[in-house]
Amino acid sequence: MNHQWIPDLTAISGVKYVAIADALGAAIDQGLVKPGDRLPPQRDLAARLGVDLTTVTRAYEAARVRGLIEGRGRSGSYVRDPSRIEVPRRQALDAGMNMPPELPRGILGRTIAQTIDQLMSHNAASSLQYQPAGGAREDRVAGAELLTRMGVSSGDDDVLITSGGQSALFAIMNAMFEAGDAIACGAFVYPGFRAIAERLGLRLIALHRMDADALRRACAQEAIKALYLVPTNDNPTAGTLTASDRQALAEVAEDHGIQIIEDDAYGALASAPIAPLASYVPHRTWHIVSTSKIISPALRVAFVRAPTIAASLRLASELHAATIMAPPLNVAMVSAWIGNGTFDLLLSKMREESAKRQMLAMQRLSDLDVSSHPEGYHLWLRLPPHLSGRDIGDLMRPTGLAVIPSERFAVGDAGPEAVRVSFGGAISLDRLKSALLTLQGYACAPANTSPLV
């Protein structure tokens, strides 16, 4: 249908073409214009707004880049229907990654495009230059604000910015430990951390239960240098440590003089957060919060709270040698989001989308041996003895549901068969429902009827 959408520019300040594109995005979000609506011709809109044609042309181009509209030749410009946007097949290459869900209606893409427009209009120079290895002060201040809100009291002097959580982990492990050092971790661990340990020659000591007694026993048997853990919605087991367990682990770390690497990759998605270990022993804890698992892996921005100023300086030197700096434009964007409330808004939408998918998964799989987090987008499914995690993963691959066998996460003996089931990324809810029913059928099949036998 034709739509006589006319934005109100009376209260705007700043670049007009950006304001027009912003107003269109807001109108779409509010339902004032709908997918398929034809926008006013550029000359007509320019005349109605009292601006030159170039301004409207640039506004429409900015909206097109954001994914808001599409051109249809001489027919004009139309509001784009997000449901008609095809997801590239490249996603299959990322099937083993635990990716956050794609937000509906292209919200994240539009937000990124809008923020870049604003940054380029107001403060382009500083965002396009080299930055200090640990981040510019104004960005470290933003990171400290975020970490403090998450329960880790921080100042800009002890916060560093890295190119994602993996970069932070590698730099910390390379700067603080030597080949042969023993690092305690769960019996199943994030594969990226295991890869770092292998590359650096570090020995991983599996705790078959992440609690104080297990850590104390490990310290009695080995010269443990550090404890690595994901305290909320662990990857892959989806376990979350209680407040008392966290405090008890912190006390053991203090008693034995070991460092803690607290990879808080998913904690920000929890609507009922639990105080991190860093709040108990800040002088022993490296606390990492990355945007990769809570907003998008494309941002490549993580904030690290170092245990001491000396440790912060040492890590800054390591980061400079490895990566020079985190991507300045991305960092400026995330800092702006923290300051203007967009970060919390995106977190809220991601939490809502994750909870929707988790609820759907539990409706299909709750009768099985499952661990999960209500606002997470993965779960841990323990399998009966006659089933193979590797075989189930192979059978599920065509469905688009990422099912990864426990052997990919195991430290030492893999133990009983299990799989991590991830339902983030671009998989639609309808396709997810179908895939979960398929998984349920495989996991519930008796031994003598299973397609895996």
Which class does domain 1-84 fall in?
mainly alpha
- More confident of the two residues 399 and 305: 305
pLDDT in tens, 131-182: 998 999 999 999 999 999 999 999 999 999 999 999 999 999 999 999 999 9
pLDDT at 368 over 90: yes
CATH number corresponding to 130-340: 3.40.640.10
- Note whether 1-84 and 344-444 share their fold: no
Give residue 184's pLDDT band: very low, low, confident or very high (50, 70, 90): very high
Express each pLDDT in 21-78 by its tens digit. Answer: 888 888 887 888 888 889 999 988 889 888 888 888 888 887 887 778 888 877 888 8
The total of other beta-carbon atoms located within 10 Å of residue 314's CB is 16
pLDDT digits over 390-431, tens only? 999 988 988 889 999 999 999 988 678 999 999 999 888 999
Burial of 287 (0-12, 13-18, 19+ CB in 10 A): buried
- Residues 190-233 have pLDDT tens digits of 999 999 999 999 999 999 999 999 999 999 999 999 999 999 99
Residue 12, pLDDT > 80, answer: no
CB 78 within 8 A of CB 36: yes
CATH superfamily of 344-444: Aspartate Aminotransferase, domain 1 (3.90.1150.10)
CB 169 within 8 A of CB 261: yes
Pairing of strands 402-405, 418-422: antiparallel
Task: Answer whether residue 86 shows pLDDT above 60.
Answer: no
Q: Is the pLDDT of residue 449 over 70?
A: no
| Lowest mean per-residue pLDDT among 18-22, 155-159, 250-254, 296-300 | 18-22
pLDDT of 92 over the 50 cut: no
- Predicted TM-score (pTM) of the model is 0.82
Which sequence spans correspond to the domains of the chain? 1-84, 130-340, 344-444
